[in-house]
Structure 1
Amino acid sequence: MIRRQAVRPFALQDIIRKEQESVMDKNALRKNWAKDCLPAVFALLLSGLYSIVDGLFIGRAVGDAGLAAVNIAWPLPAFVTAVGVGSGMGGSILYSNCRGMGEGEKSSKIYGQTVTLLIVEGLFITGVLYCLYPQMLRILGASGDVSVKAGDYSEVIILGAVFQTVGTGIIPILRNRGRALGAVAGMSAGMLVNLVLNYILIFRFGLGVRGAALGTVAAQLVTALTGFFLIYGKGEEPLKLTLDRKTAVHILRTGASAFGLSLAPSLILVFTNQRCLQYGGGAAVACYAVISYITFPVQYILTGIGDGSQPLMSYYCGGDRMEELAYIRSTGERFAAAAGLLLALLVYAVKPVIPDVFGLSKRSAAYFDTGMTVSSTAFFVMGPVKFHIAYMNSVLRIKDASRLIYGETLIAMPVLLFILPEIWGINGVWAAFPAGQLVMLLIFNICFTRRKSRLNTAVVRCGR
């Protein structure tokens, strides 16, 4: 029997109470899955809405130049966010896996070291990127007025990097400590702060893209503070800020695929921006910025289905409960596929009003209809792809997940962005996104489903 920890009851501990049941209770499994998954989807939706809020205010206050500047600079803040997501998810997966094995003391140590690692990473990133960001923006293609605005945005984001690594990293920690609704509360508080400050700083004080960056940093600070209050304001176990090299490396390795999954859209954005500049100029870049503001939240939502399923999948993996693990996996896969279909239809329905809402110029809007239509077809297959990656992370199949993520980002998408525009021009740029998702789904089916029977049996001991 697993020894219970003196912490607040939550979804995973409800499962512990059924440890001795010989028959799997599918209704209970679905209920506990929904408790974790649905709040995670909503929290990730709020995270994706950050970019939409920034885009709405910047587009109306600054215009195409502001949209293009933030789009070109986006890989820098995206890298900061990805570091927080990767370390937070890596530590959280290990935390739940240890709990599933009944190693409560070890799981508590992993939690404390994850928080410490997030703080150290944020401080380190600030020092390094602050020295390098002007050169990096030039490499990313910023020039003229766009370069000035991109620099203003990046400088603020980099100086607040520690708030962003902790703010994004605390969300998976909250979910794995049974506070899925707390994660939603933290994201909601941050979203409200971002919305209010964007309006005040951009429109009232005229700070432009710098005001948007200040709103983002402040929002992440509020999310981090809310998370710490929810954990420590209730008298739970004290936080011990310690860090040893072996555990830090283990957390980083486990979170490597989550880091890549978070950063991949922004790396792809770099390649796409270059091709947009080549085949459509600044107007195409501004158009793609708005397309990104729509596709990023959709990717966050679909990623949230896997992230919300992760605590239970990691817990069952740690306890070698393969029947329950397989059921949660199949439930999540079906839900991800259905969500992708519904989101594609929703985006297609609201597409006509999007250019006016974001303040696109007529020249940029001319590209939008085709670009958004083609891009949204990716959602049909993106849901299963994102969930497969989350599953492999949860059961500590980190190498397999990393092959999919980095294969798409560093091989498939660059190749597609090189070939397709040569054939179809700017329409080939838009087509590369859904083509990349289809390639990833095919690779998963070819390379990994051959091992499906082993993934759902005790032959594969969840990466151990």
Structure 2
Amino acid sequence: MITTLSNSTNNNFKNQFFKYVIPSVASMWVSALYVMVDAMFVSKGVGPNALAAVNIAMPYTNFIFGLSVLFSVGASTVISIKLGEKDHTKAKKYFSMTIFSLIIISLFICVMSLLFLDQIVLFLGATDSVFPMVKDYLKIIIIFIVFYIVSYAFEVLIKTDGYPHLSTIGVIISALTNIILDYVFVIKFNWGVEGAAFATGLARAFSFVFFLIHFLGNKSKLKFCKFKFNFSILKRIASIGFADCATELSIGVVILLFNQIIIKYLGEGALVSYSVVSYVNTLVLSTMLGISQGLQPLSSYYYGTGDSATVKSLLKLSLKYVIISSLVVFLVCIFFTDYIVLMFIDKSDMALFEYTVSKFRLFSISFLILGFNVVISGFLSSLEKTLDACKISLSRGLFVISISLFVTVLAFGGNGIWFSTIISECVVLVLSLITLKHALKDMDLYSDESNTEIAMTV
């Protein structure tokens, strides 16, 4: 349980930080890799159009995943605070209410999505050449929506329950299942994009069962119990999780915007290149979200106990590892670009391959910055500074990127697409640092010394 952390030494403090961050990063990676692995297999097994089709479907999968994040992260924060206050009864009730609510919501979305599937595919921007593949992929994903949404909630809350290692085991099992089934269904059985969707859905179902067994067992502290719906608590949970949800949804919104503009200004060939960029961008963003979500239950707990010194230390430690992660990711993307692109595009189309490599290297500059915006937003969410966190998330994921995209395209034509994200992340970083400073002052967590250390870290 998190309650054992208060007596940790400095080394143990870091160990506990990694105990929560590593499973969170692993969990987010698996979520990103589900679609990424599908894309790699359909690209090799079906062709470039299939790669574009899976990319067009991504905003929908981001939507259902973002919905799970909305409740999961918020519930984790509220439950962690209750555990810090030693109120285990309410922690159990909030856990049960969250899971039951997600099941109801996911069943409703499943039915509505199947009824309006054609309209959804058209809204996502599918052209005539890829419409059938997008529809075939999505109709299978929709059937597994309950497992998608609830399994991720279990991944988050099993860490709050004090068993982050089980989160890692669960997502590894799920990832391996997805890869094996992708190979069997797409390559061996030639089921195309439908096979990739089946592989993803079944992998989610397996992880759902794995986590459910834990919560039904004797070791779990977060037991299912009777509860009365408390809409004020659900509203609180959703408001806390909204910032991280907006970050996740931003992936889908940005992909949707980029897809539309790329088709208009650069054509379907460039859409394949952007598909590669967006898959890697999703993986990088997932890494930073993992750090953010690993930080949140710890900072929420210590905030609940009134230990402001530890809260600030957690923030500084998180930002330190954002720097390390960002540099490693950027260098890998710069020096191993060819190998990354080869996972999706063969050199048989050398013009497409070289174009993708050059644009990918340009876009990867944004990887140096985005982590700071994501973690600062998540940190503010963990302290229930909901409006501040949402300000950063919505600016980054919707408003600033949209403005940047349209301005760069107007100024530089289609090529402006590839560096619009860099400009957007820089603008939001300034906003994030200003917002963080004011939020810390409002909560009496600010000091000149700690602020200087945080600024130097960034």
In structure 1, the partner of 2:72 is 88
Give, in angstroms, the shift of residue 145 of structure 1.
2.6
Distance of 1:409 and 1:235 partners within structure 2: 39
Asked whether the 8 Å contact 1:171–1:227 carries over to 2, the reply is yes
In structure 2, the partner of 1:457 is 445
Asked whether the 8 Å contact 1:115–1:241 carries over to 2, the reply is no
Distance of 1:27 and 1:155 partners within structure 2: 49
Deviates more, 1:203-212 or 1:47-56: 47-56
Distance of 2:139 and 2:299 partners within structure 1: 39
Q: Does 1:303 align with 2:289?
A: yes
Q: Does 1:97 align with 2:118?
A: no
Asked whether the 8 Å contact 1:116–1:243 carries over to 2, the reply is no
Give, in angstroms, the shift of residue 215 of structure 1.
1.0
In structure 2, the partner of 1:445 is 433
Of residues 225, 228, 242, the one that matches 1:240 is: 225
Distance of 1:299 and 1:39 partners within structure 2: 15
Give, in angstroms, the shift of residue 310 of structure 1.
1.2
Letter in 1 for 2:374: K
Give, in angstroms, the shift of residue 38 of structure 1.
2.1
Q: Does 1:51 align with 2:39?
A: no
The SS at the match of 2:130 is helix
Distance of 2:374 and 2:99 partners within structure 1: 26
The SS at the match of 1:144 is coil
In structure 1, the partner of 2:379 is 391
Per-residue CA deviation, residues 280-324 of structure 1 (Å, 9 max, x unaligned), is 211111111111121111111111111111111010111111111
Q: Does 1:249 align with 2:235?
A: yes
Letter in 1 for 2:358: T
Q: Tell me the TM-score normalised to structure 1 length.
A: 0.91
Unmatched tracts of structure 2, length 5 or more: 448-458
Give, in angstroms, the shift of residue 279 of structure 1.
2.1
Q: Does 1:401 align with 2:389?
A: yes
Q: Does 1:106 align with 2:106?
A: no
Letter in 2 for 1:353: Y
Asked whether the 8 Å contact 2:37–2:179 carries over to 1, the reply is yes
The SS at the match of 2:369 is helix
- The 5 Å alignment of 1:334-349 reads 334-349=320-335
In structure 2, the partner of 1:324 is 310
Letter in 2 for 1:129: S
In structure 1, the partner of 2:270 is 284
Per-residue CA deviation, residues 216-238 of structure 1 (Å, 9 max, x unaligned), is 11111111111112232345354
In structure 2, the partner of 1:158 is 142
Letter in 2 for 1:407: S
Q: Does 1:199 align with 2:183?
A: yes
Per-residue CA deviation, residues 47-75 of structure 1 (Å, 9 max, x unaligned), is 22222211110110121110111111211
The SS at the match of 2:77 is helix
Distance of 1:427 and 1:280 partners within structure 2: 8
In structure 2, the partner of 1:27 is 11
Letter in 2 for 1:403: K
Deviates more, 1:355-364 or 1:174-183: 355-364
In structure 1, the partner of 2:3 is 13
| Equivalent residues, number | 443
In structure 2, the partner of 1:274 is 260
In structure 2, the partner of 1:314 is 300
Distance of 1:347 and 1:230 partners within structure 2: 38
Distance of 1:349 and 1:241 partners within structure 2: 55
- The 5 Å alignment of 1:179-194 reads 179-194=163-178
Q: Does 1:415 align with 2:403?
A: yes
- The 5 Å alignment of 1:68-87 reads 68-87=52-71
In structure 2, the partner of 1:208 is 192
Distance of 1:91 and 1:218 partners within structure 2: 26
For residues 370 and 243 of structure 1, do their structure 2 counterparts lie closer, same or farther at Cα, with a shift above 3 Å needed?
A: farther
Distance of 1:99 and 1:264 partners within structure 2: 31
The SS at the match of 1:80 is helix
In structure 1, the partner of 2:158 is 174
Distance of 1:156 and 1:128 partners within structure 2: 14
Asked whether the 8 Å contact 2:374–2:393 carries over to 1, the reply is no
Distance of 1:278 and 1:335 partners within structure 2: 39
**Stretches of 4+ aligned residues off by more than 4 angstroms:** none
In structure 2, the partner of 1:21 is none
Letter in 2 for 1:314: S
Asked whether the 8 Å contact 1:163–1:217 carries over to 2, the reply is yes
Q: Tell me the TM-score normalised to structure 2 length.
A: 0.92
- After superposition, the CA RMSD in angstroms is 1.9
Distance of 1:77 and 1:46 partners within structure 2: 14
Asked whether the 8 Å contact 1:322–1:458 carries over to 2, the reply is no
Unmatched tracts of structure 1, length 5 or more: 1-9, 19-23, 460-464
In structure 1, the partner of 2:51 is 67
Distance of 1:386 and 1:216 partners within structure 2: 26
Give, in angstroms, the shift of residue 191 of structure 1.
0.5
Distance of 1:176 and 1:153 partners within structure 2: 33
Per-residue CA deviation, residues 355-387 of structure 1 (Å, 9 max, x unaligned), is 332135434324212211111111111121111
Letter in 2 for 1:334: K
Give, in angstroms, the shift of residue 39 of structure 1.
2.5
Per-residue CA deviation, residues 230-288 of structure 1 (Å, 9 max, x unaligned), is 23234535412645133322222222222111111111111111111122211111111
Per-residue CA deviation, residues 400-424 of structure 1 (Å, 9 max, x unaligned), is 1111111222211111111112222
For residues 299 and 34 of structure 1, do their structure 2 counterparts lie closer, same or farther at Cα, with a shift above 3 Å needed?
A: same
For residues 140 and 43 of structure 1, do their structure 2 counterparts lie closer, same or farther at Cα, with a shift above 3 Å needed?
A: closer
Give, in angstroms, the shift of residue 125 of structure 1.
1.0
- The 5 Å alignment of 1:430-441 reads 430-441=418-429
For residues 339 and 129 of structure 1, do their structure 2 counterparts lie closer, same or farther at Cα, with a shift above 3 Å needed?
A: same
Asked whether the 8 Å contact 1:290–1:358 carries over to 2, the reply is yes
Distance of 2:269 and 2:444 partners within structure 1: 49
Letter in 2 for 1:218: L
Percent identity between matched residues is 24
